Amino acid sequence: MMRIDDFTLENWLNPACDSEKNKYYLGGSCVLPMTVEELFDLTGESMENFFEELKHMNLGYPRFEGTPRTRKALSKLYKNVEPDEVILCHGGTGANATVCYALIESTDNIISIMPNYQQFYSIPRSIGAELREVDLKIKDGYKLDLSEVRAAADKNTKAILFTNPNNPTGSVLSLEEMRELVEIAKSVDAWIICDEMYRGLDEEYMPSFADLYDKAIVTASSSKIYSMAGTRVGWIICHDAETRKRLFNWRSYDSICGGIFDEWIFAIALDHVDKIFERSRKIVNANKAVIDKWIEKNPYLHQYADAHGTTYLVHYDLDVPAEKFCDDLLDQKGVLVCHGDCFYIPHTFRITLSHAHELEEGLRRIDEYIDELVAQGKAIKN
């Protein structure tokens, strides 16, 4: 029987979110969700027409390959993608799982750039593939040493898997770094598999690996910067027709197709994606300014990455394990942040730049908690 690791992040964070103690939720990664009413106010679409169409919606299976309107709109998020190169899935996790199970075999080795989303190392390991980890350099701003990737790659390397912007740090590869990584992959005929869930928060166009490499497969979803996690629309971009057949085949075993309502309402957002991005940037940038000032004033906190996503990974100089730090913070102060052990980075926590209820009060309570730990002699002298 195939065994897979406990999904640390989801198994810890989701129950914590549901806890009655969770009064100040600062642990999420999705930009503040929209209501249906807000979506229509933002886009200028007619809600009356929407509900009239809803009355007559056929609730049978949608098209297997996905709603044409949605696939066309998604293809426009990239420079070199056609609608038939878009595969719709059930959420971003569905997209990532489909790619891993369809492509990776036990005889392969894969390179996982850490920190990473757990699907991109635990699923390959459960299949029996050899896992080769390359760590981002913390004090360099969570930058990638491409020479380490080159040294890890060989003729049996099936794929290089990572997130860009990175989850949880928000660091990004420059276009030059992306091109160099493509050359490394080409040299061993490996796939680049990139989770781009947080792509799109920059004012200027953020390059995608789908723009740069025929053997790139990228995934994304409606969850993070689109503020519509409940619609459960994920997608895979794949240029190679034969590989798309394999991906569709695996998805048939998993979910068959997407949800007709989900794809339909998400297409409305995509038709006005500039307005969605503008809203997300405004929310993230406002919260980022508050959190930057907060970290700057606290001598026990550090944030190293030039973050382009919706979260920071904050390092703390306190002799308390990350999970205990966050458990006690929730228990004692009602503040929920995500512990860094979920990403195998001790003495850290992930904090949202986006979905934050009463942000400043939550930050004040974290300061209060840290002051109490310092008074107990928990401070680490550097």
CATH number at residue 100: 3.40.640.10
Instruction: Give the count of domains, the chain.
Output: 2
Final residue belonging to a domain, choices 209, 237, 272: 272
135 lies in some domain: yes
Q: Which residues contact 52 (CB under 8 A, 6 or more apart)?
A: none
pLDDT of residue 15: 87
Tell me which residues of the chain have a pLDDT lower than 70: 1, 356, 382
DSSP 137: B
Q: How far apart are CA 347 and CA 331, in angstroms?
A: 18
Final residue belonging to a domain, choices 246, 272, 298: 272
Q: Which residues contact 378 (CB under 8 A, 6 or more apart)?
A: 318, 319, 320
The CATH code of the domain that includes 350 is: 3.90.1150.10
17 lies in some domain: yes
335 lies in some domain: yes
108 lies in some domain: yes
Q: Rounded to the nearest 5°, which phi and psi values hold at 183?
A: -65, -40
Which domain, by its residues, includes 316?
8-36+274-375
Q: Tokens representing 145?
A: 């040493």
Measure the CA dihedral 175/69/66/216, to 10°: -10
